[in-house]
Structure 1
């Protein structure tokens, strides 16, 4: 995940580094001369996540390691979206999407297979049209 364009305009960039053991991690880089990170707001439809940490990256003046523990309420059937935003401006820095449940995943795979088949059909029809009209 990288920062949204409006966040980059303000000199903020959030890049995911890993998701391990239920903890999402990323590096928040701030504009040169910003010794402290912006206040963040992290939330999902069920509420806010308050117990995240934001610590300086050793050896980096304007980079901070963000750790967000993903609670049990986010590890359940369906798709859950966690939004990371700058508290003062509301600028969205990034989003974390969590999807669970094999049935929904299989449905999505079936939809992708169907879309690919339809795309292949359209490509064949377009090529046939080009040959018939001499456009190629």
Structure 2
């Protein structure tokens, strides 16, 4: 099992970009990118020319640009391990960081529910 590490490099013009390391260069890793239980389309994972990992581009869906807190989770599809999260805040300023933590917990709970359901289907 590999230890994937996803590091954000920038967020610009609605595209989140990161560097994925720890994956073998002979096969492109599959990522699971989810916003409110829905897969984010058009995510790209490309090997770097220098062979030192993969570039990851996640287009921010229009649905994530809304008032309040929005979280997009990026996970390794093979192991359901969360690699990164993208948090967007808009509209009225949030009173404290507690709302941010609750939103992250909800997103992680959704990921755990999917993994548990998949596990139940595979073992039945």
Q: TM-score, normalised by structure 1?
A: 0.64
Question: Which residue of 93, 101, 112 corresponds with 1:104?
Answer: 93
Q: Give the number of the structure whose residues are more often helix, by fraction.
A: 1
**Structure 1 CA distance, aligned partners of 2:22 and 2:41?**
21
Gaps spanning 5+ residues in structure 1: where?
A: 1-8, 110-136
State the superposition RMSD in angstroms: 1.9
Counterpart contact for 1:36–1:62, Cα < 8 Å? no
**Where does residue 40 of structure 1 map in the other structure?**
31
Larger-Rg structure: 1
Question: Which residue of 21, 41, 54 corresponds with 2:13?
Answer: 21
Aligned length: 97
Q: TM-score, normalised by structure 2?
A: 0.70
Runs of 4+ in 1 over 4 A off after TM superposition: none
Counterpart contact for 1:30–1:63, Cα < 8 Å? yes
Gaps spanning 5+ residues in structure 2: where?
A: 98-124
